[in-house]
Amino acid sequence: MKKTLITGAAGFLGSHLVNKFLNEGHHVIGMDNLITGNLKNIEEFFSNENFEFRNHDVSKFVKIDGELDYILHFASPASPIDYLKIPIQTLKVSSYGAHNLLGLAKDKKARILVASTSEVYGDPLVHPQVEEYYGNVNPVGPRGVYDEAKRYMEAVTMAYNTFHNVETRIARIFNTYGPKMRLNDGRVLPAFIGQALRGEDLTIFGDGSQTRSFCYVDDLINGIYKLLLSDCETPVNLGNPSEITISDFAEEIIKLTGTSQKVIYQDLPVNDPKQRKPDISKAKNTLKWEPKVSREDGLKITYGYFKGLSQEELNKKEHNDFEQYIIR
C-alpha cells in the first residue's frame, strides 16, 4: 500500500485530497496545524484505519517514520483576508515548510507535489496565462506575502529537482470552489453565496469588470492526481478557462439562489488582479486532463452544501482568530 503525506489536510483542497487518496487505496497521513483548517472537514475519515491525523506546523521540522511514497504540500492560508492577518506565517509555510518537506522527500526518496497558484502571475499583462509567463507581481504589496512565498516555493522545488534529483511536481492552481470552502474566507464565490443566503446585498469590489475563472473542486483534484503520477517536472496550470466578469457572476448567484438582492460596489483592494484565465494546453496535452463540470452544475452542488450549514455557521462573519499563532 502506498503511503502519502498531505499537508493542509484539514483545509478545503487538502480534505478533498485525503478523500481521493484514500479512495485510491493509499495510507494517508494528514498534517495540519489548524490555523485556517477545520477538523470538521476531515472528521469523516477518522474511523478509516488507513488515515491518521497529525496536528503539526510544517514550517517546523517534519518527521515521518518508515517509508513514504508521496508528499502533497497544500498547507497555506489561501484567502487574502487570512494572509493579510498572518503575513509571516503565510511566508513561512511556503518557504520553511516547502524546504522541510523537500528535505523529507529527499530523505525518503518520495515524490513531492507542491501547490502553487495562479497568483505567481500577479496582475497579469498576458492573457490567458501560460506557464512560460513570468508574471507581474508587486513583492512589497499587501498580497506579496502570498505571491512571493509561492514563487520562492517553485524556485526551491526546482532546485531540489535539479540539484538533489528529487522527483517534484508543481501545480499552478487557479480559482477553485466546491463543498468544504469556508463561507467567510473573503473570496468572491463563498462571499456572494453567504450574502445571498443571509438576505444581504452582494458586494463587488471595483467596478465588476475584473474576471475570474472558476474550477469545480472534483475536476481540480483529478488534475492534481494525474499530475502527481505524470512525468512532468515543470509547472502546470490547473483550472477552468471558462472566464466571467465579477458583475456577471453576481447575477448568476442571484439567479441561482432565487433572491432579490441588489449589487453594491466598494473600492478595489490594492494589487487585486484584473483578469484571470488559465491556458490549460499543457495539461490537456501532457496529462490528458481538462475540467468536465460546468459552472452551472458546480454552483448548484456548492450552493446545496452552503444551504446545509447551520444558522450559526451561516451567520459567522468574523474571520478566524489567529492570535494564538502570532508571536509578538
- 326: in domain: no
Q: Which residue segment(s) compose the domain that 158 sits in?
A: 3-321
- 314: in domain: yes
- 22: in domain: yes
Number of C-beta neighbours around residue 275 at 10 A: 19
Give per-residue pLDDT as tens, 213-257. Answer: 999 999 999 999 999 999 999 999 999 999 999 999 999 999 998
- 328: in domain: no
State the alpha helices, DSSP H only, in the chain: 12-23, 80-85, 87-108, 144-164, 188-197, 217-229, 246-257, 281-282, 295-307, 311-315
Cell output for 68? 513514504
Surface-to-core class of residue 137, CB atoms within 10 Å of its CB (0-12 exposed, 13-18 middle, 19+ buried): buried
- 327: in domain: no
DSSP secondary structure code for residue 111 in this structure: E
Helix (H) or strand (E) holding 168: strand 168-173
pTM of the model: 0.96
Number of C-beta neighbours around residue 254 at 10 A: 18
Mean pLDDT, rounded, for 288-312? 95
189 three-state secondary structure: helix
Out of 83, 121, 146, 177, the active site residue is 146
Please report which confidence band the pLDDT of residue 28 belongs to, taking 50, 70 and 90 as the band edges. very high
pLDDT at 118 over 70: yes
Sequential DSSP letters for 254-301: HHHHT--PPEEEEPPPTT--S---B--HHIIIII-----S-HHHHHHH
Mean pLDDT, rounded, for 151-178? 98
pLDDT at 150 over 90: yes
Asked whether 116 and 171 are in contact (CB, 8 A), the reply is: yes
Give per-residue pLDDT as tens, 57-100. Answer: 999 999 999 999 999 999 999 988 898 899 999 999 999 999 99
pLDDT at 314 over 90: no
Asked whether 205 and 266 are in contact (CB, 8 A), the reply is: yes
Asked whether 190 and 253 are in contact (CB, 8 A), the reply is: no
- 106: in domain: yes
pLDDT at 42 over 80: yes
Please report which confidence band the pLDDT of residue 37 belongs to, taking 50, 70 and 90 as the band edges. very high
Is 146 marked active-site? Answer: yes
Indicate which CATH number applies to the domain containing 302: 3.40.50.720
- 158: in domain: yes
Asked whether 187 and 212 are in contact (CB, 8 A), the reply is: no
- 211: in domain: yes
Residue 173 is predicted with a pLDDT of 98
Give per-residue pLDDT as tens, 119-139. Answer: 999 999 999 999 999 999 999
Count the domains in the chain. 1
Residue 317 is predicted with a pLDDT of 67
